[in-house]
Structure 1
């Protein structure tokens, strides 16, 4: 992180370029597009079932990671660790994520889980996906949002969860779901699109709405 601090904040152009990589359209949306590509790149029901399981479990890994963030002792982000003297990059909100612990990275858990899912379905596209998520995670380290250890822990969690649950692609539940893809494809793909969009944005709208509702309820109870 000291090495990153020597680079970060020195060039506004570089800072804005790296910051742009964290936007959904340049990160999660591209990754979910690769998931769709892998899905339609095969007609094998077992591989498609593996993609479905992996996508759902990648999101689950992100939820587990967030629970760990809330449960474990607070781990300050590099931006707010006074001992690091980390220089804030241009364009980054100085108050960004300052109320959330950084370990492990829920973003890394989700995107590395998705990359692993794609790899199981198509090794060639999977390698591209892993290269993409590595670049995205490096950008978050550059910006001081995460320590390398946060990313490694989150990535390990996401990959482990996906690998451990791929066996369920041949379960009776998955066979029934895959049958729905054939008998009611309109409903299946509508729900799949909605869920993929939510994963791509990490359900930010829902999280913001629930957070605001919790604040209002707390204020109402306090009054």
Structure 2
């Protein structure tokens, strides 16, 4: 079933060069891939001035959920049994169409999709602030962010499904408790009084979420290699 669905979705490629190019560009460009979702959190941050900005605790909590979700995705990918991506599976890769190089993400396990974990978690956070907006952005993220990862052979459909379930589960369990903790502890009020610190931090977090924490992960990998070198352990 996994393989049949993969090939069915991949079959949308090849019918039109213009469609293939446009879909690839949209799915890889940060402006169309992740910024619409991130921009919604900024919108909710400034909504409801007359009511005392009622969404702010959940917006900050969503940022923490995003960090936890991406970390969860990496932990699961490392601890679960290794799974070849379709583009690395010799029985599958030769049958797939698409512009993604065969060496992409080589050595990275396919299960679960960390994109699915993080985007599903953040979409559910939006849904828990406004159901209609959450449904629309959820559909958008599935079509623009998650489905291309199946279409181009980066993930099996079940990788995406597992990531969605993990991400939504994390958001459902963590968003409201973290938001309440921010309100009751006074942390939200403390941060709101320190805008010169708060907004740069929010911008930094927005940038990292929009880029799937790629730059942060690169620096962590560099630090790990440096520590391994200093200790005389091959990395």
Task: Please state which band the TM-score falls in when normalised by the shorter chain.
Answer: 0.7 to 0.9
Residue number in structure 2 paired with 1:204: 214
Residue number in structure 1 paired with 2:125: 117
- What is the 5 A alignment of 1:151-190? 151-165=160-174, 166-171=176-181, 175-190=185-200
Picking from 62, 66, 69, the partner of 1:61 is: 69
RMSD of aligned C-alpha atoms? 2.3
Kindly provide the CA deviation profile for residues 59-100 of structure 1, in whole angstroms up to 9, marking residues without a partner as x.
21121111111111111111112222432412x222111110
Residue number in structure 1 paired with 2:78: 70
Q: Distance in 1 between matches of 2:35 and 2:188?
A: 24
Residue number in structure 2 paired with 1:93: 101
Moved more, 167-176 or 150-159: 167-176
Q: Distance in 2 between matches of 1:23 and 1:114?
A: 19
Say whether residues 1:32 and 2:38 are aligned partners: yes
Tell me if structure 2 keeps the 8 A contact 1:61–1:113. Answer: yes
Residue number in structure 1 paired with 2:24: 19
The size of the alignment, in residue pairs, is: 222
Say whether residues 1:139 and 2:128 are aligned partners: no
The TM-score with structure 1 as length reference comes to 0.88
Tell me if structure 2 keeps the 8 A contact 1:38–1:125. Answer: no
Kindly provide the CA deviation profile for residues 32-81 of structure 1, in whole angstroms up to 9, marking residues without a partner as x.
01111122223455532122112211221121111111111111111112
Q: Distance in 2 between matches of 1:208 and 1:172?
A: 30
Shift in Å at residue 184 of structure 1? 1.5
Shift in Å at residue 219 of structure 1? 6.4
Q: Distance in 2 between matches of 1:27 and 1:172?
A: 29
- Unpaired runs of at least 5, structure 2: 1-5
Kindly provide the CA deviation profile for residues 114-140 of structure 1, in whole angstroms up to 9, marking residues without a partner as x.
111111112222122111111121111
